[in-house]
Structures are given as structure tokens and as C-alpha cells.
Amino acid sequence: MEKGKGVMGAGRRWAVDFSDNSTAPSSRDIPDPPGFTRASVDQDDSAVSRQKKDAEANWKAQKAWEVAQAPFKNLLMMGFMMWMAGSTVHLFSIGITFSALWQPISALQGVGKVFEPYKDNKVDLLGPKLLFIALNLGGLALGVWKLNTLGLLPTHASDWVSSLSPAQ
């Protein structure tokens, strides 16, 4: 094949071949620069692609764990906001409480979508998914606890008086 012809199609007018095919002693007398080894140039492409796939799998696993731990930050923020809202029933405390209930429920419904970008044969997503679910269930429990402290859960006998038969 003629140099520069047919390498990348008709649009390429010239090409430079940088491979060292000469056996002249002058080119072999020059030592390689520091840090350069010919073994790294001649490394098998399959080994390089395997290393890239392993690095990508490690990155996906790390990101999956970061996504799984994200509800913890939300849990602390919601806890602080519910503490600041107080224990009296008013519009702000009810809004914060129902927000604290809605966010974990919607997050639990979308667990599959959250971890979709990190699916890989080499990445085990069971641990991150379980942590994500556990932290969201903790957020849900925090919201239910706040409902109880506001007195909005029917936990006392007096809450059920209307359903009891009248005393004889």
C-alpha cells in the first residue's frame, strides 16, 4: 500500500508513520528517555482494555456507594428542619413533615432508576441498594415520628371514641 493512500479514505492526503522500523545503528544508540519503556508501547491491547474495564467497574462501584449514602445527608437536613419547625401543629410544621414523608417514598419507588447508570456485570449493586433503602426507611420513620409528636397519629384511646359504642 502506498504511503498516505487508503488509510482513512479519500479525504486524507498524507500520513506519517511514527513506528521505528529501521535497523540502522544510529537510531538504536540513542537511549530511551527517563520513564519510557518499550514494554509499555508493546503492551497487548486486550490487557489495556481489561484494565480500562476494571477501572470503569471500580468507578461505577464507588459512585453507586456515593449515591447510596446520599439519603443520609437528606436525613440530617430533614431532622434539623423538623426540629426547627417545633411541635405545634401549624402550616410550616405540617409541610415539613409531609415533605419528610414524601421524599423517602418517592426515592423508594425509583430505586431501579437511581442505580441504572451503574449496572455492570462486574459491579455488585446489592449492598448500595440495601443501604439506600435502609436510609430512606429511616427517613420515613423520622417523618412518622414527627407525625406522632405533632399528635396527628391516632395512638390514644380518645382518638377512637367516635367508633366506640355508647356506654350503657
pLDDT, mean of residues 79-98:
92
Please count the other Cβ atoms lying within 10 Å of the Cβ belonging to residue 51.
11
Of the pLDDT bands very low, low, confident and very high (cuts 50, 70, 90), residue 80 is: very high
Task: Domain of residue 122: give its range.
Answer: 67-153
Query: Do residues 103 and 139 make contact, with C-beta atoms less than 8 angstroms apart?
Result: yes
pLDDT digits (tens, 9 = 90+) for 30-48: 777 887 776 654 556 677 7
How confident is the model at residue 155, as a pLDDT? Answer: 86
Contacts of 120 (CB under 8 A, 6+ apart): 56, 57, 60
How confident is the model at residue 12, as a pLDDT? Answer: 64
In a domain, residue 119? The reply is yes
Of 20-29, 33-42, 86-95, the least confident: 20-29
Indicate whether 128 pLDDT > 90.
Answer: yes
In a domain, residue 4? The reply is no
List the grid coordinates of 3.
504511503
Q: What domain count does the chain have?
A: 1
List the grid coordinates of 23.
535497523
Average of per-residue pLDDT values in the chain: 83
Cα 34 off chain centre by? 40
In a domain, residue 9? The reply is no
In a domain, residue 15? The reply is no
Percentage of the chain beyond pLDDT 70 is: 81
How confident is the model at residue 22, as a pLDDT? Answer: 63
In a domain, residue 105? The reply is yes
In a domain, residue 89? The reply is yes
Of the pLDDT bands very low, low, confident and very high (cuts 50, 70, 90), residue 26 is: low
Of 34-43, 58-67, 88-97, 116-125, the least confident: 34-43
In a domain, residue 94? The reply is yes
Of the pLDDT bands very low, low, confident and very high (cuts 50, 70, 90), residue 95 is: very high
In a domain, residue 59? The reply is no
